[in-house]
Amino acid sequence: MRRVVFNQKGGVGKSSIACNLAAASAAEGYRTLLVDLDPQANATYYLTGLVNDAIPSGIADFFRQTLSSVTAHGKKPRVAITETRYSNLHLITASPDLSDLQSKLESKFKINKLRKLLVELAEDYERIYIDTPPALNFYTFSALVAAERLLIPFDCDSFSRHALHSVMAEVEELRQDHNPALQVEGVVVNQFAGRTALHQTLVDQLRGEGVPVLPVYLSSSIKMRESHQASVPLVHMAPRHKLALEFADLLDVLERAA
């Protein structure tokens, strides 16, 4: 199962959702891989605590190999996989180098390389999660072509609601043209405050518009920021916390529907 977490709007919790679902998946016993495609490398930092030059070579080096003359003459590009401190959970790291590579990859139309890589890695991993940058660029396009399922985070405000419809329209066009097998698993409601009438109204409006909102809402909590600071997924740092339990419930919904 190859699952991508994507929304063009920044600050909606893509990395938090991808990392915590991947960590929960691994904790459930699935051999799990997280692929970080964002040059900001937030998921990489979250799972390792490493930054800049300390980050092991990862997806940027893989894409660099696809551009090399050696690869063009038949040598298969390889990718370094980093073991995390958590059982069953591995990571393909991101780095700022991805920004410099993007225009070269676009000009050479390397859009299918990630899909081929992940299809091969699926022989070793039962679950693959892909974290993406907040833009419909080469990397997110590659992820959407490579994935089987799509999760779209939504952070409960009017701007996000308008952006959500745009994202779903663009994804549908891409799905029809490039990856008919891609399924929108649903919209993940994030930063939800149940006592706030606005949040419930926004979610009800989305449901009324036919948007596939998933039934588990992720609460707003300062504990998530503490989790980021500690570079420990919330499902490991505070497994009995309300938000950690919501991630577990969300994973259960996804696995039962898979």
Q: Is the dihedral of CA 213, 147, 246, 15 positive or negative?
A: negative
* 193-232 pLDDT tens trace: 877 888 999 999 999 999 999 999 999 999 999 999 999 9
**Across all residues in the chain, what is the average pLDDT?**
93
Helix, strand, coil percentages, rounded to 5, for the chain: 50, 15, 35
Look at residue 82 and tell me whether its pLDDT is greater than 80: yes
Rounded to whole angstroms, how far apart are CA atoms 60 and 121? 17
pLDDT digits (tens, 9 = 90+) for 159-194: 777 788 889 999 999 999 999 999 999 999 999 987
Residue 89's beta-bridge partner residues? 32
Give residue 74's pLDDT.
65
**Do residues 218 and 188 touch, judged by C-beta distance below 8 A?**
yes
Q: What is the rounded CA–CA span in Å between residue 225 and residue 223?
A: 5
| 76 has pLDDT over 90 | no
pLDDT digits (tens, 9 = 90+) for 128-170: 999 999 999 999 999 999 999 999 999 887 777 778 888 999 9
**pLDDT-above-90 percentage for the chain:** 81
Angle (CA) 132 55 92, round 5°: 45
pLDDT for 94 beyond 80: yes
Indicate if the pLDDT at residue 72 is higher than 80. no
Q: State pTM to two decimals.
A: 0.95
| H helices, E strands: number in the chain | 12, 7
